Amino acid sequence: MSRTLHNDMIVIDGLQYSNWSREIFEQLREGGVTMVHATIVYHEQIRETLMRVAEWNRQFEQHGDLIMPVRSTADIRRAKAEGKVGVMFGAQNCSPIEDDIGMVEVMRDLNLMIMQLTYNNQSLLACGCYEAVDSGVTRFGRQVIKEMNRVGMVVDMSHSAERSTLEAIEISERPIVISHANPLSFHDAKRNKSDTVLKALAESGGLLGFSAYPFHLKNGPDCTLEEYCDMIADTAELMGVDRLGIGTDLCQNQPLSVLEWMRNGRWSKAMDYGEGSKSNADWPRPLSWFRDSRDFPNLTQGLLARGFSQQDVAKIMGLNWLNFLDDALQPQTAGR
């Protein structure tokens, strides 16, 4: 019953940064994933971002029987109809625009659909969650949010600090996302979000994607599916079920060098441990019930077992993302 329901649904993963290969694409399709928001940038600047786009163009050419680019939500629906996996580009930092507001529109024209204002550290736009003092959204950040709203690029505050996140919600004329994070009440991690943030996000029409990254979960890699679904149920009471989605933060088959690039970029010579503990210096042990994308049906089954209706499960597993993106990706200017 649950597998049939899962296969019929549009399933959207709000964030992955896997070591993309035909094997990974086959896992996504086997898991019933309709679309994945793929991080193409952590600290890459303009030229490097262009190279990432070119690399993906080759992936689409070589594996066109499995994957297709997402340029609009119509492509998500087409991916479902054709049995393919749609891939939507996103950046986990504002480095692709460097210090040039004109690059927002350029990057959107290259199908960069979602951009975080900051990744852990203070950026030119806002403050990251690991800084000691949260200075909020900067003057440049306010202008970039306005431009992102105009061209139909989604503001993501997953790695941002509290004040910056609340200010971004207030400043943005369009709802924003926190694509991959969990409630702070579930697990005390700097990346997780307070009830104050989650309430503001919901009231503004935004969306939260629940992370399955073990460092963001109670009991780490030993977090059970039941505990995870309890977290979702508790958050549904706080935010409403229409404001919830999945953003697994799955980093499948990645070497340690990628973890070092994510955390260190070019700004640090020493390994950045984030929370200040060397215990998370390597990739975490995977969850027993979510080892890779083939395990997405476990989430559907877990939510049904927790008591969610089939309609609400379909919303959480993908329809809420789709409905959000239907408006969010539409540019506000004519003639684009």
- Kindly report, residue by residue over 34-59, the tens digit of the pLDDT: 999 999 999 999 999 999 999 999 99
Average pLDDT value for residue range 325-332: 96
Average pLDDT value for residue range 187-208: 97
Using CA atoms of 51, 283, 247, 95 in order, give the dihedral in degrees to the nearest 10: -40
pLDDT at 209 over 80: yes
User: Looking at the domain assignment, is residue 224 inside a domain?
Assistant: yes
Query: Can you tell me the distance from the alpha carbon of 136 to that of 298, in angstroms, rounded to the nearest whole number?
Result: 38
Query: Can you tell me the distance from the alpha carbon of 196 to that of 189, in angstroms, rounded to the nearest whole number?
Result: 16
User: Looking at the domain assignment, is residue 76 inside a domain?
Assistant: yes
pLDDT at 220 over 80: yes
pTM of model > 0.85:
yes
Percent share of the chain, pLDDT over 70:
96
pLDDT at 1 over 70: no
Q: Please give the tally of structural domains in the chain.
A: 1
pLDDT at 205 over 50: yes
Strand pairing partners for 90? 39, 114
Q: What is the DSSP string of 93-155?
A: SSGGGTT-THHHHHHHHTTEEEEES-SSS--SS--BTTSSS---S-HHHHHHHHHHHHHT-EE
User: Looking at the domain assignment, is residue 333 inside a domain?
Assistant: no
User: Looking at the domain assignment, is residue 335 inside a domain?
Assistant: no
| CATH value at residue 94 | 3.20.20.140
pLDDT for 72 = 97
Tell me the residue range of the domain where 132 lies. Answer: 2-328
User: Looking at the domain assignment, is residue 7 inside a domain?
Assistant: yes
pLDDT for 278 = 55
Strand pairing partners for 116? 156
CA dihedral sign of residues 252, 175, 244, 127: positive
User: Looking at the domain assignment, is residue 336 inside a domain?
Assistant: no
Q: How many CA atoms lie within 13 A of 99 on its CB side?
A: 2
Instruction: Encode pLDDT of 128-173 as tens digits.
Output: 999 999 999 999 999 999 999 999 999 999 999 999 999 999 999 9
Q: How many CA atoms lie within 13 A of 309 on its CB side?
A: 6
Distances (CA, A) of 36 to 20, 87, 168, 211: 12, 5, 24, 14
Instruction: Encode pLDDT of 246-298 as tens digits.
Output: 999 999 888 788 788 778 888 888 877 665 555 566 788 999 999 999 999 99
CA dihedral sign of residues 102, 69, 315, 317: negative
User: Looking at the domain assignment, is residue 129 inside a domain?
Assistant: yes
pLDDT for 335 = 44
User: Looking at the domain assignment, is residue 334 inside a domain?
Assistant: no
